[in-house]
Structure 1
Amino acid sequence: MMKKILFLMAATAMMWGCDAVKAQTLEPEFEGEVVGVFPDGSSKKLEKHNVRMRTGAGVYIAGFAASKSKTKVLVEGGSASVRFDAAQPIALIVRAKDNKADPMSIVRVFRMKSTKKNRSAVISAVGSFSVNSNTMDYLRFSAEKYGESSYRLTFDERPAGEYGIIVSNPNNVDEKMVIVSTFAIDGGAAAKE
């Protein structure tokens, strides 16, 4: 009888230990990578894209020179391969340089407009009479430290759409190469927890 109890205790401890190890293995391998975690516990690495920056010229409308220039990030492909259901909880594990900085200062989750060929987001718009900088539509998140160098992001609001994530490195002076990880949320109206 005592052997059975000890065996059950050992088996239970091993299962708990395996779950802890499994959770830590969700941490992405490299800085800037993002892993999506589904409600059933499965996970998938988000696609990473080297984005193109495009600046559009002004427009002449009905006798007025409406000089307006927009700078956009362009991602090839009309939709992301990693898709979440708006009705279900969404978690993302984001690997950073370390997890000592405030994630709000280095992680940006933003909505993109989608066409059949690409997805885009306006970074800035400059007009003759106004300047709008950083006009992206951000998705608000809550974050907690995860593993050695990552953050676990969760979202109270989950409106349907195509999204991009940029992870900045505060120690990197050269931010010319922008890498965007992409995912999508499918579903009707905005979901709230």
Structure 2
Amino acid sequence: MKKLLLIVLCLTGFYVNAQEIPEPEFVGECVYVKSDNTSVLLEKHLTQNRTVASTGLMMTGIGKVRTQLQIPGCCSNLSINKNSEIKLIIKSTENSTDPFSIIKVFKFEKKKKYRRAEVSSLSNFGTTKSNNYINVSFVGKKYGESSYAIKLDAIEPGEYGIMILNPNALDQKQTVISTFSITE
């Protein structure tokens, strides 16, 4: 009986400790959970859509047209060491949907003045590829009333973005990306 009571107290303590961080205020917001159990709101950006044709397509008629999303600035304000445990809390409209189907964590191509991610490509031979993001796998669980707690495992240094899709909306008005950096 004493062992059972001790196990229940330990599990209750773990659950209470896991819920100390409040859910983000607005749908689509993400917070990074630090090792000292405090949180930092991730920087948010509105995206620009960009379509570019390859040089080969322009010169010879053989090549691709790529659609990319772009955000300004080379780097995120939030840098996380690659050896740190990466836990994020992401607010959604509700948390009964599989988080992997509505949360996209992806790597950006980093440039001096911006960050880009390829959304889709179309070759003149008719080959279309969509969802070309460099996706990052994660493990997600329900958190609070309408959020998800996700954990990223061993990702390489670089610039990353998080996009939250609303499965209940018929159209996405503006794409908002939350960003963070992984450093050595």
| TM-score when normalising by structure 2 | 0.85
* Matching residue of 1:178: 175
Q: How does 1:50-129 map to 2 (within 5 A)?
A: 50-60=46-56, 64-129=60-125
The one-letter amino acid paired with 1:47 is: E
Question: Is there any run of 5+ residues in structure 1 with no aligned partner, and where?
Answer: 1-15, 188-193
Larger radius of gyration: 1
CA shift, 1:119, in A, is 0.5
Q: Contact 1:141–1:155 at 8 Å: present in 2 too?
A: yes
Q: Contact 1:140–1:157 at 8 Å: present in 2 too?
A: no
Q: Contact 2:21–2:38 at 8 Å: present in 1 too?
A: no
- Measure, in 2, the Cα distance between the counterparts of 1:22 and 1:63: 57
1:162 paired residue among 149, 153, 159: 159
* Matching residue of 1:133: 130
CA shift, 1:83, in A, is 1.3
Q: Contact 1:24–1:147 at 8 Å: present in 2 too?
A: no
Q: How does 1:2-13 map to 2 (within 5 A)?
A: none
* Matching residue of 1:144: 141
The one-letter amino acid paired with 1:108 is: K
SS at match of 1:175: coil
23-32 vs 112-121, which moves further? 23-32
Deviation per residue, 1:12-66 (Å, 9 max, x gap): xxxx99x938934431000000001112222100011110011112434796312
151-160 vs 161-170, which moves further? 151-160
Q: Contact 1:161–1:185 at 8 Å: present in 2 too?
A: yes
Q: Contact 2:57–2:64 at 8 Å: present in 1 too?
A: no
Q: Contact 2:21–2:39 at 8 Å: present in 1 too?
A: no
The one-letter amino acid paired with 1:147 is: G
Q: How does 1:29-68 map to 2 (within 5 A)?
A: 29-60=25-56, 64-68=60-64
Q: Contact 1:70–1:125 at 8 Å: present in 2 too?
A: yes
CA shift, 1:176, in A, is 3.6
| TM-score when normalising by structure 1 | 0.82
Indicate the RMSD between aligned Cα atoms, in angstroms. 2.2
The one-letter amino acid paired with 1:87 is: N
Q: Contact 1:26–1:35 at 8 Å: present in 2 too?
A: no
> Number of residues paired by the alignment?
172
- Measure, in 2, the Cα distance between the counterparts of 1:138 and 1:157: 13
- Measure, in 2, the Cα distance between the counterparts of 1:63 and 1:51: 30
Question: Is there any run of 5+ residues in structure 2 with no aligned partner, and where?
Answer: 1-11
